[in-house]
Amino acid sequence: MGKKVKLKIGEQEEFKEGIIRLFKSMHVESARLILLRSHQHISVHELRKNIKKIRGMLRLVRHEIGKKKYGKLNAYYRETAAVIAVLRDDTSQIELLQGMRDSVKSPQVYRSISRAIKQVEAKRKKEFTRFYDSDKQFEINQSLKEKVSVYDSLKIVGNPKEFILKGVKKTYCKARRALEATEIVGSKEVYHDLRKQVKYLMYHLMTISNSLTPELKTYITELNRLSDYLGNLHDLDLFNDHIKEGKLIILDKIKRQTMLKYIYRRRAYLKRNIHKMGDVLFDESSGSFSVKVYDAWNNALNNHENTPA
CA distance 13 to 10: 5
Q: Is residue 123 part of a domain?
A: yes
- Give dist(CA 39, CA 33) in Å, integer: 10
Cα angle: 63, vertex 65, 69; to 5 degrees? 115
Residue 111's CATH number: 1.40.20.10
Q: What's the pLDDT at 199?
A: 97
In a domain, 81, yes or no: yes
Q: Is residue 105 part of a domain?
A: yes
pLDDT in tens, 57-108: 999 999 999 999 999 999 999 999 999 988 888 888 888 889 888 877 778 7
Give percent of the chain above pLDDT 90.
67
Spatial CA neighbour of 230 closest among 78, 46, 92: 92
* Res 231: pLDDT: 93
Over residues 138-192, the pLDDT tens digits come to: 999 999 999 999 998 898 999 999 999 999 999 999 999 999 999 998 899 999 9
Q: Is 305 a domain residue?
A: no
Other beta carbons within 10 Å of 178:
20
Dihedrals φ, ψ of 283, to 5°?
-95, 5
Q: Is residue 96 part of a domain?
A: yes
Determine the Cα–Cα distance for residues 26 and 22; give it in Å rounded to an integer.
Answer: 6
| Chain centroid offset of residue 3 CA | 20
303 lies in some domain: no
- Residue 251 backbone class (left: φ over 0; alpha: ψ -120 to 50; beta: rest): beta
What pLDDT is stored for residue 18 in this prediction?
96
Domain presence at residue 295: no
Structural domain includes residue 127: yes
Report the domain count for the chain: 1
Domain with 90, as residue range(s), is: 15-290
The share of the chain scoring above pLDDT 70, in percent, equals 95
